[in-house]
A and B are shown apart, each in its own frame.
Chain A
Amino acid sequence: MTAVTVSGKARGVPLIDGIDKVTGRARYTADLDHAGALIGRIFRSPVSHGEIVRLDVSKARALDGVVAVVTGADCPHTYGVLPVAMNEYPLARERVRYRGEPIAAVAAVDAETAARAIGLIECEVRELPAYYTSAQARAPDAVQLHANKPGNLEREVHHEFGDVKAGFAAADLVREAQISCAEVNHAQIEPHACLADYNPLTGRLTMQSVSQVGYYLHLMLARCLEMDTSRIRIIKPFIGGGFGARAEVLNFEIVTALLARAATGKVLTKLTREENFLTHRARPQTDIKLKLGMRGDGRLTACECEVVQRGGAYAGYGIVTILYAGALLQGLYDIPAVKYDGYRVYANLPPCGAMRGHGGVDSRHAFECLLDRMARELSLDPFAVRRANLLEAPTRTLNDLMVNSYGLGECLDRVERASRWRERIGTLPAGKGLGMACSHYVSGAAKPVHWTGEPHAAVNVRLDFDGGVTALTGAADIGQGSSTMVAIAVAETLGIALDQVRVIAGDSAITPKDNGAYSSRITFMVGNAAIDAARKLKSILTGEAARKLEARVEDIECIAETFRVGTGGQASLPFIDVVKAALADRGPITVSGTFTCPPEAQGGKHRGGAVGSTMGFSYAAQVVEVSIDDATSSVSVDKVWVALDCGHAINPLAVEGQIEGSVWMGLGQALSEETHYVNGLPAHASILEYRVPTMAESPPIKVEIVESHDPNGPFGAKEASEGALAGFPPALVNAVANALGIDLDELPVTPDRIHQALLERRRAKRLAAVQEALS
C-alpha cells in the first residue's frame, strides 16, 4: 500500500468534530437534554470489608420525591470483563469488599432529595479484616476476599521462554533491582455520567454514557437486567477523555439502568470527582523484582522478572493486566531468555483496571532503569546498550509475538540527535541531568476478549441521493481523533475531499458493532475496516464510471472527486454524476468493510499467550532533561525529546497530540501522581490531592514521528497513543541518576523520596568514612 498524505496537507488536519469542541456546542453526557429525568445517586459502603447484616431502604423509599430505590436484591448477576472472571455485582449482595462499593441507589426528583434519601438508608455491616497491601492480603492467615481465590490471588502467571539459567551463566554482569510504582488514576477531566431511559410500554432501554466500550456495556446491561440485547440501544455522546477509565463497564452504568427500569423512566447519574476515584479501574500499585544478565558489550543474555500487582477488590481486567506485565517484557528488545512470575492480588481497595499503556508501564519502568544502571557499571552509553539489543523485523519473539515493522533504531537516532545527547551528556552543570528510555505498545489486542468468530472490526459506508458519503462506525472517539481517522481513511481511498465524508459513530441502533476504544486497536483495526469498506464502494462507483465512460474498469481513477480514464485521460465524470448513476441502478448503497487479525497474529499457545499479541507494535525512544532544586529536592523537567514509530502517520497533527499527551501522562506518574488510602479511605480523592501536573510544571515536548510502514497497518499505520508513556518514568529516573548519582527505586519521584535517598547516601558515605578511619 502506498503512503498517503491528507490531500496534500503533510502536517495533518484538525479533528472533524473540533469546531464543536471549541465553540461549546459539543454535548457530553451531563449536557444532554435530561428534561424530566430523575437524579440517580449511590449509597456506598462505609467500611472496607464486611458482611451486610441488615439493609433497610424503607425510609428512603418513603421519602417524598423518591421514585425508585434499588439494592443488590434487584440484580443477582455479576458483571465484568473476561467471561471467566466476572465476580462483581453492580450493587453489593451479602458482602462488601472496599470502602465506597455501591450497596444501594435511589432515583429522586432532584439532587437534594436523592441526597436526603441516601441519608435515610440504614445499613449494618459485620466487619471483616481488611487488607490494604499485597503482602497483608497474601499472608497465610488472611481471610479470603473471594471464596474461590485462595491466598487472595486472582491469577498467578509463570512463564519461561528460552534457557534462563544458561543466559545468566553467559552474562558478564548480573544485577537485580526491586522497584515499586504507586497506584495512579486516569483523572480524565469529564466526571463519569450516564443517562438511562427505560420505556415501560415498549420494554426498551436507551443508555447514553461515557463508555469507551459501548458494545460491552450493551452485553452487560442485557445480562444484568435480563433483557434481550435487541431491546437495548447504546449511544455515545461526546466523551471527555478515557485513558482506560471507561474501558470496562462500570457499576454506576448498570445501577442507573436498574433505577430507570424501576422508576419506569429516565435517570441521570453524575458521579462526583470523589466517586470517580472510588470507581477507579486504573493502574495498580506494583512491586517488581527484576534480574538482568548482560555481556560486557551490552548484549542482554537473560531476564527474570517478578511482578506483584495490588489489584483491588474485584477482577476487572486484572488477569489481562498481570499477563501484559510479563508479555510486554518482550517485543521491544531481543532477549534470548525470559522468565516471568506474576501475581495479581486482591485487596480491600477500589478495583484496578486498564490505564493507558495497560500492564506494560511499571515493568518497563523497572527494566529501563536497571538497563541504565548496568550500562553505567559497564561504562556503556545508554543508547549503545539499547542498540546492542535491537530486534530485526520481521520476527517472532520468544513468547510468539509478531514483529512485522520495527523503527526503534531510527527512534534512537532521532532523539539522540535532537537532544544533542552526545555533546551534552556528562557536561551538564550541577543539579541538571539527562536520561533516556525506550518503550512500545500493541496496536490492538489481536485476540478479542469475546471469541465470537465475528470480524474484529467493521465499518459501513453509505451513499444516498445527497451525494455525501457517510461512514458508520461503532468506534468510540474519546478525544483521540478516531472519527477523523475513519473520515481520512474513507476520503483517501475514494479520492474525495475530507469534508465530503461524514462520520456517525457510536450508536448501536445505527453503527456496526465495535469492541471499543482500548488496547490502541482503533486505527489499526477500524482503519483497515474503513479502507475495506471504501474500496468496496469505490469498486461499485468505478464500475459505474467505466460503463458511463465506455472504458475498462482498470483504467478508471478517481482523483479530486473526478472519475477519469487513465491519469492523463480526456474523458471524465464528476463524482456526483457517477453517484447518481449508481443509485439509479441499485438504490441507496451501503457497503460493509471488515478487518480480522489472522490466527498467526493471535499469540502463542501457552496459557495467557493471547495477551500481548498484536499485528504491530509502536516503538518509542525519549530523552528527558531535568533540573533538581538543591534546597527543596524537587525535580522539574526542562524538556523532552521523543520519537515514536507509528508505522505511518495518517493524521500527523493528531499523532503528535497523542504522543505529547502520553509522554505527559507518564510525567504525571513519574513526578507527582499517587493514590493514598487511610484504612481504605482514599485521601487523594480530589484533583487538589491527586496531583495532576499543571501547565506551569509541564515541559515542552519535541516530537519526532518515525514511519516504518507496517505491512498490515492501514496505509502502513500502527498505534500512536500509548507507546510513548512507559518510557517517560524511567527516562526521568535515569536523568535524576545522571544529575545526582542516586538510583531511585520508587515512583513517583517526589521531593521527599529524593531527599530521603540523598540522606541515605550521605549516611552511607559517613559510615564508610568512619569505618575507614577505624580500620
Chain B
Amino acid sequence: MPIESPQLERPQSQKRLLRLKLNGRWREDAVAENQLLVDYLRDVAALTGVKTGCDGGECGACTVLIDDEAVPSCITLAARCDGRAIETIEGLARQGRPTRLQRAFHEKLGAQCGFCTPGMIMAAEGLLRRNPHPTEADVRTALSGNLCRCTGYVKIIESVLVAAETAP
C-alpha cells in the first residue's frame, strides 16, 4: 500500500516591521506576519525563559504579559503586539533582585524542574497586578491554565499567597 504524506507547501509570509516595548525597552524588528510571539521572543529576542511545552495553547509554559495581562505567547501572533508592552520572566528581576514572587517560588519550592515556572510566575504576576490580595480560590482559577507536572501545585499556590502577603 503506497502512503503519501500531504505536501506542506506554505506560502512565503510577508514581513512587516514590529515595534514593541519588550521588558521595558522599545525595539523594532522585521517579523513574518505569521510568526508566533513565542518564536519571536525565543528566536529573535533570545528570551529563552519563555518555554514551549505543547503544540499550542494547552499548557501555559509560554505565558507572558501583554499590557499587564497574562497571555499564552504560542497562540499569539507577534505582529499583533505592535505598540504594546510585552514582559517575560527575564524582565521581572531588576538589577539582579528577584521580585517577591520569584523569591517566594524559590524559597517555598514553587519550582521543581522549573520548566513551567516562568509561565507560572508570569500568570501569577498578571493576577497580582489586577488583584494584589487574592484568595486561594482566586489563585486556583487564575493559574488553572498553567500546568505543572512536578509539584501537585501545593507549593505553587503557597508561593503565590506568600508573595501576595508580603506585598507592600
* Chain A residues at the B interface, C-beta cutoff of 8 Å: 14-15, 17-28, 30-31, 43, 46-47, 112, 115-116, 118-127, 186-191, 238-243, 272-274, 478-481, 653-654, 656-657, 660-661, 663-665, 667, 686-688, 692, 694-696, 698, 700-701
- Contact between chains at A240 and B3 (CB < 8 Å): no
Query: When the two chains form the complex, which single residue of B90, B145, B153 contacts A23, counting CB atoms closer than 8 Å?
Result: B90
Q: Which residue of B lies closest to A111 (CB)?
A: B39
Query: When the two chains form the complex, which single residue of A20, A190, A242, A273 contacts B58, counting CB atoms closer than 8 Å?
Result: A273
Q: How far is the CA of A46 from the CA of B6 in the complex (A)?
A: 12
Q: How far is the CA of A470 from the CA of B155 in the complex (A)?
A: 30
Q: Does B73 contact A (CB under 8 A)?
A: no
Using a CB-CB cutoff of 8 Å, which residues 116-168 of chain B contact chain A? 116-118, 121, 139-141, 143-157
Q: How far is the CA of A123 from the CA of B1 in the complex (A)?
A: 9
**Quick one: CB contact mask for B7-23 with A, threshold 8 Å, 1 for yes?**
11110000000000000
- Contact between chains at A22 and B140 (CB < 8 Å): no
What residues of B have a CB within 8 angstroms of the CB of A46 in the complex?
Answer: 3, 5
- Contact between chains at B154 and A189 (CB < 8 Å): no
Using a CB-CB cutoff of 8 Å, which residues 73-124 of chain B contact chain A? 88-90, 92-93, 98, 102-103, 105-107, 109-118, 121
A-B contact pairs, 15 of them (CB 8 A): A15-B106, A15-B109, A22-B89, A46-B5, A115-B8, A116-B8, A118-B5, A126-B1, A189-B59, A241-B115, A481-B112, A657-B112, A657-B151, A657-B155, A686-B55
- Contact between chains at B153 and A24 (CB < 8 Å): no
Query: When the two chains form the complex, which single residue of B1, B88, B149 contacts A243, counting CB atoms closer than 8 Å?
Result: B149
- Contact between chains at B144 and A696 (CB < 8 Å): yes
Q: Which residue of A lies closest to B115 (CB)?
A: A240
- Contact between chains at B53 and A273 (CB < 8 Å): yes
Q: Which residue of B lies closest to A245 (CB)?
A: B149
What residues of A have a CB within 8 angstroms of the CB of B6 in the complex?
Answer: 119
- Contact between chains at A694 and B147 (CB < 8 Å): yes
What residues of A have a CB within 8 angstroms of the CB of B141 in the complex?
Answer: 696
What residues of A have a CB within 8 angstroms of the CB of B89 in the complex?
Answer: 22-24
Q: Which residue of A lies closest to B102 (CB)?
A: A22
User: Known: A18-B106, A239-B113. Is A119-B5 also a contact (CB below 8 A)?
Assistant: yes
Q: Beyond the given A19-B98, A696-B144, A700-B154, could you list 14 further A-B residue pairs with CB under 8 A, ordered by the A residue number?
A: A14-B109, A20-B114, A22-B106, A24-B118, A30-B48, A112-B8, A118-B5, A118-B8, A119-B7, A661-B149, A661-B152, A663-B152, A664-B151, A695-B143
Most-contacted residue by chain A among B3, B6, B110, B115 (CB, 10 A): B115
What residues of A have a CB within 8 angstroms of the CB of B112 in the complex?
Answer: 15, 241, 479-481, 657, 661
What residues of B have a CB within 8 angstroms of the CB of A274 in the complex?
Answer: 55
What residues of B have a CB within 8 angstroms of the CB of A19 in the complex?
Answer: 98, 106
Q: Does B54 contact A (CB under 8 A)?
A: yes
Q: Does B65 contact A (CB under 8 A)?
A: no
What residues of B have a CB within 8 angstroms of the CB of A273 in the complex?
Answer: 53-55, 58
Q: Which residue of A lies closest to B9 (CB)?
A: A116
Query: When the two chains form the complex, which single residue of B10, B92, B107, B111 contacts A21, counting CB atoms closer than 8 Å?
Result: B111
Q: Which residue of A lies closest to B154 (CB)?
A: A660
- Contact between chains at B5 and A28 (CB < 8 Å): no
- Contact between chains at B155 and A47 (CB < 8 Å): no
Q: How far is the CA of A694 from the CA of B7 in the complex (A)?
A: 37
Most-contacted residue by chain B among A123, A125, A657 (CB, 10 A): A657
What residues of B have a CB within 8 angstroms of the CB of A657 in the complex?
Answer: 109, 112, 150-151, 155
Looking at chain B's contact residues, is the secondary structure mostly helix, strand, loop, or mixed? Answer: loop
- Contact between chains at A30 and B52 (CB < 8 Å): yes
What residues of A have a CB within 8 angstroms of the CB of B59 in the complex?
Answer: 189, 687
What residues of A have a CB within 8 angstroms of the CB of B4 in the complex?
Answer: 122
Most-contacted residue by chain B among A22, A25, A191, A696 (CB, 10 A): A22
User: Known: A125-B1, A241-B115, A654-B109. Is A687-B48 also a contact (CB below 8 A)?
Assistant: no
- Contact between chains at B111 and A22 (CB < 8 Å): yes
- Contact between chains at A189 and B10 (CB < 8 Å): no
Q: How far is the CA of A30 from the CA of B151 in the complex (A)?
A: 22
User: Known: A189-B115, A694-B147. Is A14-B106 also a contact (CB below 8 A)?
Assistant: yes
- Contact between chains at A191 and B53 (CB < 8 Å): yes
Query: When the two chains form the complex, which single residue of B7, B110, B113 contacts A116, counting CB atoms closer than 8 Å?
Result: B7
- Contact between chains at B52 and A125 (CB < 8 Å): no
Count of chain B residues with a beta carbon within 8 Å of a chain A beta carbon: 63
- Contact between chains at B121 and A22 (CB < 8 Å): yes
Q: How far is the CA of A18 from the CA of B113 in the complex (A)?
A: 9
User: Known: A23-B98, A189-B148, A692-B147. Is A240-B1 also a contact (CB below 8 A)?
Assistant: no
Most-contacted residue by chain A among B7, B106, B114 (CB, 10 A): B114
- Contact between chains at A701 and B152 (CB < 8 Å): yes
- Contact between chains at B88 and A24 (CB < 8 Å): yes
- Contact between chains at A119 and B55 (CB < 8 Å): no
Q: How far is the CA of A187 from the CA of B147 in the complex (A)?
A: 10
User: Known: A23-B90, A189-B53. Is A695-B146 also a contact (CB below 8 A)?
Assistant: yes
Q: Which residue of A lies closest to B156 (CB)?
A: A695
Q: Does B70 contact A (CB under 8 A)?
A: no
What residues of A have a CB within 8 angstroms of the CB of B152 in the complex?
Answer: 660-661, 663-665, 667, 698, 701
Query: When the two chains form the complex, which single residue of B1, B10, B113 contacts A112, counting CB atoms closer than 8 Å?
Result: B10
Q: How far is the CA of A687 from the CA of B56 in the complex (A)?
A: 9
- Contact between chains at A187 and B149 (CB < 8 Å): yes
Closest 8 CB pairs of A and B: A24-B49, A479-B113, A664-B152, A21-B114, A240-B115, A24-B89, A31-B48, A687-B58
Query: When the two chains form the complex, which single residue of A28, A127, A191, A661 contacts B150, counting CB atoms closer than 8 Å?
Result: A661
Q: How far is the CA of A480 from the CA of B42 in the complex (A)?
A: 26
- Contact between chains at B140 and A696 (CB < 8 Å): yes
Q: How far is the CA of A238 from the CA of B116 in the complex (A)?
A: 13
What residues of A have a CB within 8 angstroms of the CB of B149 in the complex?
Answer: 186-189, 241, 243, 661, 665, 692
B25 to chain A: closest CB distance in Å?
A: 16
B33 to chain A: closest CB distance in Å?
A: 15
A316 to chain B: closest CB distance in Å?
A: 21
A136 to chain B: closest CB distance in Å?
A: 21
- Contact between chains at A686 and B58 (CB < 8 Å): yes
What residues of B have a CB within 8 angstroms of the CB of A21 in the complex?
Answer: 105-106, 111, 113-114, 117
What residues of B have a CB within 8 angstroms of the CB of A31 in the complex?
Answer: 42, 48
Q: How far is the CA of A660 from the CA of B152 in the complex (A)?
A: 6
What residues of B have a CB within 8 angstroms of the CB of A26 in the complex?
Answer: 114
Query: When the two chains form the complex, which single residue of B49, B54, B92, B118 contacts A686, counting CB atoms closer than 8 Å?
Result: B54
What residues of A have a CB within 8 angstroms of the CB of B54 in the complex?
Answer: 191, 273, 686-687
Most-contacted residue by chain B among A47, A191, A663 (CB, 10 A): A191
What residues of B have a CB within 8 angstroms of the CB of A122 in the complex?
Answer: 2, 4
**Quick one: CB contact mask for B21-52 with A, threshold 8 Å, 1 for yes?**
00000000000000000000010000111111
- Contact between chains at A695 and B48 (CB < 8 Å): no
A446 to chain B: closest CB distance in Å?
A: 27
Q: How far is the CA of A696 from the CA of B138 in the complex (A)?
A: 10
